[in-house]
A and B are shown apart, each in its own frame.
Chain A
Amino acid sequence: MSRDRAAVRELVIAPWTKHGTTDYDGRGTDLTPSSPALVLPPFSFSLLCTMGNTSSSGGRGHHDESVDYGSLVPQGVYTGPRDWNHAIVSQLIVARKLAPFYRPLEDYEESWDDDQLLAARKELNPRPENSEQPSRSDSIHSLSSKSSSKRSIPNREQARPEAAVYRGAMECPICFLYYPSNINRSRCCDQAICTECFVQIKRNEPTATHLVSEPAACPFCVQDNFGIVYRPPLWKAGIGSDASAPSWPEPPKESTQPLTHRRRQKSYSADSPEVVTTDQIRPDWESKLAAVRAAVARRANRRIVMRQVGDRLIPVGVTSGRIHALNSEEVAEAAEGGGSRRRRRHGGNSQLEQFMSIPGQDLEELMLMEAMRLSLIEHEEQQRKEAEEKRKQEEEDAAATNARGSPSETGTSHVSGPQTISGSGSSTLATLPSNLSVQFSSEASLAAPSASQQSREPLNTGKPNSRSNSRSRASAFTTDHESSNGEPSNSRNQRTTNPPPFSALNAALASASTAAAILGNSQSSNQEAHTPVSPTARESTNPFLVMAQKEEQTRNLSPHNLTQTAPTSSDDHPQRPPVPLKLSTPSSPRTSQDRSDHGLNDQLSSHGHLASASNSEPFPSSQKRKSQLGAESEQECNDLMSRDNGQRVTSPPDG
């Protein structure tokens, strides 16, 4: 498939080589773009304009923003947020590394004269554009002449450079508007793109579940790291124009200007100095990505704290996920046998407050906390009633008091099947060994160091034990199922009914997957070894469980993504649909028939591959395979995810 892709591309690229001139390189060195440092103050600039066909005159109010008759600011083609770095874009424009924002023409005809050209310029900006001047130049009072182009018609028509720049205007293949022929060119495939459109193209915003931020791909040839190369005109006007030399030595002639663009032979690499990439004008992408990653990491480190009451596990809180803080707390706790954290058993209130104070906690978490709190209250209420009933019963049936079993602590059991551990009295809960969960997870999950460390984290030695995540999950599976069997729950301080049989297998499975997830985090190369969650877990409907798994999933994904980014993108690259490059060929204006035919051919040829590929293999690309892996263990999570899964199954149209 990739071979075919390459063939298609070669085919498209081939014509360019015929021209064979790399005129960009041939450009005189004296025209090296001026550095931003050379920006002249507006005053000196306007005073120095002496030519009759002056590029500017008294318009210091706005001409200080003009570069080669274009602007430093967008002309309003797009109305969305302008979230690029304006200072950088301005600098690049002044340095002639990026075409200025020209006012576009709605249409363009070769035969138009200057007036028609100027009239065709879109009035996009709320602020009237500024370049045209009446013939009398240099007078300060002409500041008032923000005249419309129509009023500036009077004389000297063919000499007006602001119209002449539009000779041979090029259509931007994205916004379909016409711009002066000194338009940006994609670095990779030499396609025209106006600055308005260029600044719109950016990386996808990273989200909590999509931790990779790949550089924007070229909209034309989908090569990664989209960037442009700009060849400024041979003259300069406005900011950066040479003070001593006339700023307009040779006004652009319609005969010369349009022809200056020859097809480039070579493409530029993304890091070559001539290239402006989409990342350059949005330098904050890295910090944005880092912020999202940090948030996700924090969330992934969070553990749901469960408290065991009888044979049930009640979620009572969520750890903060700030792992360092937890570790120190944990140490302290281990030392003093569970002091500070004990307040957790008071329910979710303190947790809730704590969450309120942490910036960046989202509503979802707060709602979860509240749900936990309510669940706890309800449960305690129920327990209280049961306890009372029981007490009455016991008073009548006095003999029974100390005889029997304890809450289930079967988490410590191994694969030996259903098993209970009998506590010796009513205080079992309080006296359980505090390293219970450590013991459990280290045995059940192959003693992975990171696993045991993680699972120790939320350990609570307070009277009602709260458990590590892996422990909680394992137990919760069973308790969830058991309690639906109508088992009575236990009262807090009483010895209780016999604990239900505990499926150690499920526990081991679930906890193994936890360990795998954690291992996957610390050693991302182990990713492939990640085992899907056990079938039991998949069917579980316990929301808290789901939450825990989801978090792990997220956490699990992240290191994987980070390490795989590079190979993925390169891998992925050839699968992108071929874009009919022909449509934007500058020499042949867009014609729909042309485009469609080529599109059809390209798509059809590549579609042959899709069919066979997708029949034999539902996830044709490595990327898809990867996501399948993720999808499997994710399936139980929620409907949202299942939707994604559905999406994933589909391959790109060309395979």
Chain B
Amino acid sequence: MASIAARRLGKELKEIHSEGCPVGINLVKADDFETWWFTIEVMGESEYKGEVYTLQFRFDGQYPISSPAVQFVITDGRQAPIHPHVYSNGHICASILGNEWSPVLSVTAVCVTLQSMLASCKKKERPADNDRYVRHAPDNPKKTQFHYDDDTV
């Protein structure tokens, strides 16, 4: 019996294959229901014009009730965009990936959201605490999110 995650991701994937990704977003690989890669490019005028980044999604068995672990890929010569909410290790600080995740969101919806996060950037810079964070960051950005959930309020 396939898990809910696999079943839903299967449907999302089918939809991506049949209807394509939104503009500026392309599926790189989705060989299983654990890790997917997308390229993401900001269309139109922006700080990131002409730059292509790679997003990695990691899913656990409770997706979509639990959020996917989403980050930029920084291996294989790929870079994380320089953005106030993106750490140099690729981790992304976005509430919809953490405590404001909704199971209604889909993979492409997350891509689009992050795309527009980049598009709205006015100044390319790293988060203020980038170095400190990156030094101790867990592999899985969701672990960070966990502490974030813990301590925010």
Contact = CB atoms under 8 A, between A and B. Distances in A.
B144 interface: yes
A38 interface: no
Given A210-B151, A647-B145, A174 B103 contact: yes
Nearest to B136: A639
A285 interface: no
B121 A611 contact: yes
A174 B132 CA distance: 37
Contacts of B93: 646-647, 649-650
Contacts of B120: 604, 607-608, 610-611
A592 interface: yes
B129 A219 contact: no
A580 B113 CA distance: 11
Contact of A643 (B100, B112, B137): B137
A201 B64 CA distance: 11
Given A210-B150, A577-B100, A595-B106, A653 B116 contact: yes
Contacts of A79: 1, 3-4, 61
Nearest to B62: A80
Interface in B104-135: 104-106, 108-109, 112-117, 119-123, 127-130, 132-133, 135
A381 B41 CA distance: 65
A175 B96 contact: no
Contacts of B8: 174-176
A453 interface: no
A642 B106 contact: no
B148 A220 contact: no
A177 B16 CA distance: 17
B26 interface: no
A362 to B, nearest CB: 15
Contact of B112 (A603, A612, A618): A603
Contacts of A642: 129, 132-133, 136
Interface stretch (A44-52, A86-94, A622-630): A622-630
B28 interface: no
Interface string A610-649: 1110110010000110110011001000011111111111
B12 to A, nearest CB: 8
Contacts of A631: 151
Contacts of B150: 207-210, 644
A449 interface: no
A410 B31 CA distance: 68
B11 to A, nearest CB: 4
Nearest to B116: A603
Contact of A176 (B7, B20, B123, B152): B7
A623 B153 contact: yes
A647 B137 contact: no
Given A640-B147, A648-B148, A174 B129 contact: no
A596 interface: yes
Contacts of A272: none
A124 B4 CA distance: 11
Given A77-B4, A639-B136, A204 B147 contact: no
A561 B123 contact: no
Contacts of A210: 149-153
A210 B152 CA distance: 8
Nearest to A177: B7
B116 A607 contact: yes
A493 B106 CA distance: 70
B102 interface: yes
B22 interface: yes
Interface residues of A, number: 76
Contact of B96 (A124, A595, A641, A653): A653
Given A78-B65, A611-B122, A595 B117 contact: no
A208 B99 CA distance: 17
B95 A651 contact: yes
B52 interface: no
Interface string A576-618: 1101100110000011110111011001100110111011001
A650 B22 contact: no
Contact of A174 (B104, B151, B152): B104
Interface string B30-73: 00000000000000000000000000000001101100000000
B94 interface: yes
B94 A599 contact: no
B109 A596 contact: yes
Interface string B81-96: 0001101000001111
Contact of B113 (A76, A126, A173, A603): A603
Contacts of A204: 99, 149
Contacts of B112: 596, 599-600, 603
Nearest to A206: B150
Contact of B151 (A175, A596, A607, A630): A630
Nearest to B128: A649
A561 B153 contact: yes
Interface in A548-600: 561, 564, 568, 576-577, 579-580, 583-584, 590-593, 595-597, 599-600
30 contacts: A76-B1, A77-B4, A174-B103, A175-B64, A176-B8, A197-B103, A204-B149, A217-B102, A219-B104, A222-B102, A577-B100, A577-B113, A584-B104, A592-B22, A595-B108, A603-B117, A608-B120, A610-B117, A611-B120, A612-B122, A615-B122, A639-B136, A643-B144, A643-B147, A644-B151, A644-B152, A646-B93, A653-B113, A653-B114, A653-B116
Interface of A: 76-80, 106, 124, 126, 173-177, 197, 200-201, 204, 207-210, 212, 217, 219-220, 222, 561, 564, 568, 576-577, 579-580, 583-584, 590-593, 595-597, 599-600, 603-604, 607-608, 610-612, 614-615, 618, 623-624, 626-627, 630-631, 634, 639-653
User: Can you list the 6 inter-chain pairs with the closest CB atoms, starting with the nearest?
Assistant: A650-B93, A607-B120, A647-B148, A652-B95, A596-B22, A646-B133
